[in-house]
Amino acid sequence: MPVVNFTPAFVASGLVCPPDKKKIEYSVSDEPGLFAECRASEKAVPTWYLRLKNSKGTNIYKKLGTIKDVSLAQARKQARQLKAEHMLAPKPEDVVVAPKSELTLDQFMTDHYFPHAKIHKRSHKRDDQLYRIRIKPKFGDLVLSAINRREVQAFQNGLLKEGLSPASADHHVKLMRRVCNLAVQWEFLEKNPLKGIELYMVDNQVENYLDQEQLARLVDVLRSDENRMVCCIVMFLISTGARLNEALTATWKNVSIEGGVWKVDASLSKSKKSRSIPLNDSALWVLDQLESKGKSAYLFPSPAKAKDEKDEAYTTITRAWYRLRKKAKVPNVRLHDLRHSFASLLVSGGRSLYEVQQILGHSDPKVTMRYAHLSAKALQEAANAASVIVPRAGPKAA
């Protein structure tokens, strides 16, 4: 690299690349590290660079600008400032970094787990609730490596004493186990101390089915009650077997009245796959009652937001539903039970479990198998219709 006295004359005419080279660097004689790079291309403009040494002794380069934009004096000033900053910057060996395993659970949750969960897990808000209310006060200040099986199982047992159900206690332990799994994957821990931890595994799957009489009472209430929006939402659930969130966020653009189909977008589907729900006559009747078509993007827009001229979906109907079910004398029925009732009507009507799976949008056929006993009952009734040796019981002869 030629060392040159950068006089005004040299800057004006001497910064050229020799014909036999692709590029050349001219070092400023009285400013160590500062040089101008010239390339053979006619379009290339000589550019100022500063060369520095890193802690390993290798060169690093800082681009300062072209000679058209940065004068020699400005290049000198920048170079001196960068050198001073480089000298004062802490060297890597001077920076004390705590081992990953000494990261506290709260630091890991805040900096790593929740940013990841918000992208990859729909129930991240539930995770935040479980962690914030009970897990953080107990384990938040512990370093990851200090989390152990015994303490977590004692915590699990304590949750039962607080009055939580076994299933709720399991949810807390499952979250901690998943957190430790990710800590291992991301090399914060060598192994998961909660791998294979014993859970209560109580089958708390509740399935209530409305019988014909209960369903008739509920429909009578829904057709006459003054809260028309909520009544239409509930009748839509009864008629489609949809999940509540799917119905509340349903849009008119995804409904084909002519085709009798409603499309649920993948972003709103529990299985993360789009699916189409056939609209029966009852569902089409409900849609015909709605006044939102042409006025809102949603089937069931929020009346509260509409006052502020905002077009948003209905958010919750829990309080209104409690009143309606009490009025219909079905006090123990949840909104999700309407989905079970819809499935029972399909099975009782002779539809196959595969058809039920497709309509309800179950990604795993094992979920649909919960209705297998209803299917067996329907088959038994069908078989009894052909009973010849022992006829079905009927009115006795006089």
pLDDT of 206 higher than 70: no
Q: Is the pTM of this model over 0.75?
A: no
Q: What's residue 379's pLDDT?
A: 61
Give CA–CA dist 114/105, Å, rounded: 12
Chain centroid offset of residue 223 CA: 37
Q: How confident is the model at residue 97 (pLDDT cuts 50, 70, 90)?
A: very low
Mean pLDDT of the chain: 85
Q: Is the dihedral of CA 237, 243, 244, 245 positive or negative?
A: negative
CA distances from 28 to 38, 82, 211 (A): 14, 16, 93
How would DSSP label each residue in 350-384?
A: T--HHHHHHHHT-SSHHHHGGGHHHHHHHHHHHHH
Q: pLDDT tens, 20-65?
A: 888 899 999 889 999 999 988 878 889 999 998 877 777 888 999 9
Q: Which domains does the chain have, with CATH numbers?
A: 3-94 (3.30.160.390), 100-185 (1.10.150.130), 212-384 (1.10.443.10)
What share of the chain has pLDDT > 90, as a percent?
Answer: 44
pLDDT of 102 higher than 80: no
251 with 298: CB under 8 angstroms? yes
